[in-house]
Structure 1
Amino acid sequence: MEAFLRVSETLKSFREARLSALRGPTEFFDHHRISRPADLTQATSRISYNTRYFSGNYGIIVAMLAVYAFLTNPLLLIALGFLVGGFAAINKWAPDPVQFGDHTVTQKHLYIGLFVIGIPLLWISSPISTLFWIVGASGILILGHASLMEPGIESEYASVQDSV
């Protein structure tokens, strides 16, 4: 019970920290502040500022892309469900060896069977390409938005607040 409370408190504090960094959709999608940076230095400074300023929004973008990637790859969902469900089922219902005629089936045998089926299934579902797609798509979206979005007036006062 104590572990559950600790996890609950950790999730609550994480949610409060991340949700406080969210900016409203009108500010995030403000088309009046979109402009092409003059040079690489300006683009770099915009990316540096906007990735901190919109970090909560960018986190939601990455999460939405990850959910989309998992939902459009059903074999990956099946493979992960098989492996996680297999671990849970073996730990819950087969902690002790079971006798079948002359053969004794232990937890080790069940885990080997789970791996023999689950690892090739996971390999076929291409989790590495899904991970690279999530990283690439979120990188393009985040860097594109951060470089095109002009920092607001509050960015001029950020250096003043840091020096005080």
Structure 2
Amino acid sequence: MEHALRIVDKIKSLRETRFSGLRPPTEFFDYQRISKPADVNTATSRISYNTRYFSGNYGLIVSMLAVYAIITNYHLLIAITFLVGGFALINRFAPDATQLGEHTVTQKHLYLGLFVIGIPLVWFADPFGTVFWIIGASAVLILVHASIMEPGVESEYASIDGETV
């Protein structure tokens, strides 16, 4: 029960910190603010501003792409499930050493067996390709969106540090 409360608290703190910066979809997908940048300097300034302004939305995009990549890579999904499930099962059902005939099996032995089987499974699942796909797809989506989205009116006031008009 205490473990579940810690998870709920973690989710609440994540929502307050990370998702508090989310901009509404109507603002993120405002097609009236889309335009081709005039030059590289304009694109660079837009990317600089929009990556800060829409950072919560971009973080959500990266998270969704990561979930998609893991779900569609069945080998990686099986390997991660095997390792996480193995850790959970060992911690729950084998906290103490067990005597099997003449041999004593400890948690250390069980973890070693889990790694001997799990690491080749993960290696076979090509996690590096998945990570590079997530990085590439995220970079393309974020850079394209940030460069074609004109900053809003609030960007004009972003450089003013509390000065009154």
TM over 0.5: yes
Match of 2:121, as an amino acid?
Answer: L
Which residue matches 1:93? 93
Which residue matches 1:34? 34
Which residue matches 1:16? 16
Which residue matches 1:145? 145
Task: Say whether 1:130 aligns with 2:124.
Answer: no
Match of 1:129, as an amino acid?
Answer: G
Match of 1:49, as an amino acid?
Answer: Y
Instruction: State the alpha-carbon separation in 1 of the partners of residues 111 and 5 from structure 2.
Output: 31
Instruction: State the alpha-carbon separation in 2 of the partners of residues 124 and 27 from structure 1.
Output: 42
Which residue matches 1:68? 68
Gaps of 5+ in 2: none
State the number of aligned residues: 163
Q: CA 1:2/1:85 → structure 2, altered by over 3 Å: closer, same or farther?
A: closer
Instruction: State the alpha-carbon separation in 2 of the partners of residues 17 and 91 from structure 1.
Output: 31
Q: CA deviation at 1:23?
A: 1.7
Any runs of at least 4 consecutive aligned residues in structure 1 with deviations exceeding 6 A, and if so which?
1-4
Which residue matches 1:49? 49
Gaps of 5+ in 1: none
SS of alignment partner, residue 150 of structure 1: coil
Match of 1:99, as an amino acid?
Answer: Q
Which residue matches 2:104? 104
TM-score by length of 1: 0.88
Instruction: State the alpha-carbon separation in 2 of the partners of residues 124 and 98 from structure 1.
Output: 32
Q: CA deviation at 1:18?
A: 3.0
Q: CA deviation at 1:103?
A: 2.3
SS of alignment partner, residue 137 of structure 1: helix
Instruction: State the alpha-carbon separation in 1 of the partners of residues 97 and 20 from structure 2.
Output: 51
Q: CA 1:68/1:44 → structure 2, altered by over 3 Å: closer, same or farther?
A: same
Instruction: State the alpha-carbon separation in 2 of the partners of residues 17 and 104 from structure 1.
Output: 47
Deviations 1:38-92 (A, max 9, x none): 2221111101111111111111111111111011011111111111111121122
Instruction: State the alpha-carbon separation in 1 of the partners of residues 24 and 15 from structure 2.
Output: 16
Deviations 1:91-140 (A, max 9, x none): 22222222222222222221121111100001001111111111110111
